[in-house]
């Protein structure tokens, strides 16, 4: 398909050529061959696309709007349209994702970031943050991000250049107070530690360190905006600060720290934003962020320095009235940015009901109340088992809400199918990785069964009591077939479905194995024990090995190699425990009565709570009742 661009296209030329393969077009300029596309500046907060046989017109406001409009045009052409006219309103000045590249050990490699940027350009998303706790190189700090994946200055500059050709702003997103456990673990930073995660406020060495971070994080980018973090400083003022200064209110400590950090920010000419929660936690009696009855005192408002923009993050509430309330509370500090979330950080699955049921009231409220800047967080807590490209439907969801008053799911799905060359309904299947029988209809709670079912031990089964009597193996056997059917119709993302197929294929054997072993042992059912030994355990071992190999291949295509060691340790631990189970089972069947002593212990509900547990996200809590590592 040949498109010849005329008019005000020059600033889009590089981006058009970068998207040509993705769109399946050939681009030419200043001619009359093929479809002639006239490009011109349009009205503020609007984009327009018109097609009339062999000619088309694109009128844009900002650069990103041209690329969304180009996608809309090509979508119609591929559908066989010859007449088409569409005008979209632009509801958000800023809209895009924030990808966590630190907490789950998974640093997205440059080629994958570029792929995300191309998809974002077609969707019309104009901002990207890479959330880096220690995932960028700081020349003065060799222990910062030591032996972990990280971006060099050259990496980030190249990505910023690539994003800029689409009109996408890359904003550095770092931490300057808490959330730094992977840095503060090193003894070289003992003088700037409040505790294991938080910096020591007021120490001169702390601000030398922060200056190095701010300089390194901001230098590669065109933008002057920067996100400086400062959320969830749980024990602020209760560690080294308490020992030196005595008890001081969190609000006062935040005021002191922000004032010092702002001095550096102003010297560097930066425009900062930060998470807002500490201003709320500091004054709430229980340290909560979301308290609808909380009154904001003048002292807290005055603690926010001039020029600092607060980010209201919320992906928990399901009612518009709740978002309305918290937006108004944030407006006491100034105009906020809203940050929602895509629920893919709890294991292998993607919780789309939770994502959509929190995002819909949030985005509709933002539009109604005139909040013009939003973004969507994609966290990587404790492993990043869910591949980063599984989040694409959530990006499309935010994009369509940015250009439509109230888009329907079929409309969003159609745009996703075009922008990503994949099937919306297949991607929504990923919810069922975590929605086992008994909770399959839950839309509000953050279940993540895939994580505990994959990593819990088959002999000690810490969560076996909670899943007793449920047909979980059958659930995953059916789901595996559905994922297998999706391979071949999802283009570049077939690899995700091969991976998900292997996850479900493992869980189809492993989920109930601990219960099967325990029951057969207690019933003295030696025939079943022999069957588990000779068939189930060998087949499960093969499936885990295939999953590990598939996962590693996908990881290395998506991420930098650092961080995979964590997954190798998990898969390696699972495999050796399956081997150990086989050895002990063999010994028991050969006449050793003590070989399966673990199965004598009564199974108790996890944490004393009946039913399927929520938010079981920490590997060390799932795999053994003993400490696998000091803090794991």
At residue 304, the pLDDT reads 94
HEC states along 487-501? CCCCHHHHHHHHHHH
For residue 218, give Cα distances in angstroms to 78, 172, 275, 292, 583.
41, 6, 18, 36, 55
The answer to whether 62 and 119 are in contact (CB under 8 A) is: no
**Distance between CA atoms of 181 and 197, rounded to whole angstroms?**
4
CA 609 centroid distance within chain: 28
Sheet architecture: strand order including 2-7: 26-29, 2-7, 35-41, 55-60, 46-52, 83-89
The answer to whether 91 and 68 are in contact (CB under 8 A) is: no
Q: Is 100 helix (H, G, I), strand (E, B) or coil?
A: strand
For residue 326, give Cα distances in angstroms to 280, 301, 356.
11, 15, 19
For residue 563, give Cα distances in angstroms to 103, 144, 185, 567.
10, 15, 17, 8
- What the block records as the tokens of 318 is 């399901």
**Distance between CA atoms of 258 and 282, rounded to whole angstroms?**
14
Tally Cβ neighbours within 10 Å of residue 294.
Answer: 17
**Distance between CA atoms of 51 and 55, rounded to whole angstroms?**
6
Burial (CB < 10 A; 0-12, 13-18, 19+), residue 587, is middle
What is the DSSP pairing of strand 46-52 with strand 83-89? antiparallel
At residue 630, the pLDDT reads 62
The pLDDT averaged over each successive group of 10 residues in the chain (632 residues) is 97 98 97 96 97 97 98 98 97 98 96 98 98 98 97 98 98 98 96 97 98 98 98 94 96 95 98 96 94 95 95 98 98 98 96 97 98 98 94 98 98 98 98 95 89 98 97 98 98 98 98 98 98 98 98 98 96 98 98 97 96 93 87 53
pTM over 0.95: yes
Give 559's DSSP letter: B
**Distance between CA atoms of 616 and 106, rounded to whole angstroms?**
20
At residue 629, the pLDDT reads 76
At residue 248, the pLDDT reads 95
**Distance between CA atoms of 511 and 206, rounded to whole angstroms?**
48
């Amino acid at each position: 398909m040949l498109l010849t661009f005329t008019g005000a296209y020059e600033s889009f030329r590089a981006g058009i050529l970068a998207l040509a393969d993705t769109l399946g077009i050939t681009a030419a300029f200043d001619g009359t061959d093929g479809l002639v596309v006239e490009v011109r500046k349009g009205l503020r907060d609007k984009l327009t696309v018109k097609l009339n046989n062999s000619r088309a017109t694109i009128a844009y406001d900002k650069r990103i709007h041209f690329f969304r409009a180009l996608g809309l045009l090509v979508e119609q052409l591929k559908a066989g349209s010859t007449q088409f006219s569409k005008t979209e309103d632009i509801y958000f000045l800023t809209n895009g994702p924030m990808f966590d590249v630190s907490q789950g050990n998974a640093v997205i490699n440059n080629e994958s970031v570029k792929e995300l940027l191309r998809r974002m350009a077609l969707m019309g998303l104009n901002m990207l943050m890479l959330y880096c706790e220690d995932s960028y190189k700081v020349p003065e700090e060799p222990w910062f991000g030591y032996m972990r994946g990280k971006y060099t200055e050259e990496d980030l500059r190249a990505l910023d250049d690539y994003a800029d050709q689409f009109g996408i702003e890359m904003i550095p997103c770092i931490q300057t107070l808490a959330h730094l456990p992977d840095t503060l673990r090193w003894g070289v930073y003992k003088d700037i530690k409040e505790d294991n995660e938080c910096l020591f406020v007021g120490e001169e060495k702390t601000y030398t360190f922060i200056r190095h971070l701010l300089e390194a994080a901001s230098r590669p980018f065109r933008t002057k905006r920067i996100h400086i973090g400062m959320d969830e400083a749980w024990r602020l003022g209760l560690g080294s600060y308490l020992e030196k200064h005595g008890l001081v209110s969190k609000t006062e400590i935040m005021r002191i720290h922000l004032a010092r950090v702002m001095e550096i920010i102003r010297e560097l000419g930066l425009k900062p934003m930060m998470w807002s929660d500490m201003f709320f936690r500091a004054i709430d009696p229980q340290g909560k962020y979301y308290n609808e009855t909380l009154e904001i005192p003048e002292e807290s408002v005055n603690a926010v320095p001039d020029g600092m923009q607060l980010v209201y993050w919320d992906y928990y509430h399901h009612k518009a009235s709740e978002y309305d309330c918290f937006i108004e509370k944030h407006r006491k500090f100034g105009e906020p940015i809203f940050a929602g979330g895509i629920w893919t950080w709890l294991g292998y699955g993607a919780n789309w009901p939770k994502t959509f049921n929190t995002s819909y009231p949030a985005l509709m409220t933002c539009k109604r109340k005139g909040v013009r800047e939003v973004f969507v967080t994609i966290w990587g807590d404790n492993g990043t088992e869910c591949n980063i490209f599984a989040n694409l439907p959530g990006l499309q969801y935010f994009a369509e809400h940015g250009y439509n008053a109230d888009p329907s799911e079929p409309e969003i799905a159609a745009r996703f199918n075009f922008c990503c060359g994949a099937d919306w309904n297949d991607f929504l299947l990923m919810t069922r990785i975590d929605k086992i029988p008994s909770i399959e209809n839950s839309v509000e709670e953050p279940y993540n069964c895939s994580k505990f079912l994959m990593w819990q031990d088959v002999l000690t089964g810490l969560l076996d009591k909670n899943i007793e009597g449920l047909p979980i193996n059958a659930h995953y056997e059916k789901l595996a077939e559905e994922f297998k059917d999706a391979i071949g119709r999802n283009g570049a993302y077939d690899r995700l479905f091969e991976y998900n197929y292997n996850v479900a294929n493992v869980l189809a054997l492993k989920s109930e194995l601990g219960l099967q072993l325990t029951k057969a042992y207690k019933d003295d059912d030696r025939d079943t024990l022999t069957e588990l030994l000779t068939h189930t355990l060998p087949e499960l071992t093969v499936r885990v090995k295939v999953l590990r190999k598939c996962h590693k291949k996908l990881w290395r295509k998506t991420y930098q190699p650092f961080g995979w060691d964590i997954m190798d340790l998990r898969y390696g631990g699972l495999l050796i425990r399956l081997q150990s189970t086989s050895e002990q089972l063999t010994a028991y069947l050969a006449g050793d009565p003590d070989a399966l002593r673990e199965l004598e212990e009564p199974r108790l509900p996890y944490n004393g709570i009946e039913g399927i547990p929520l938010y079981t996200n920490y590997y060390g809590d799932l795999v053994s009742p003993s400490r696998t590592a000091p803090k794991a």
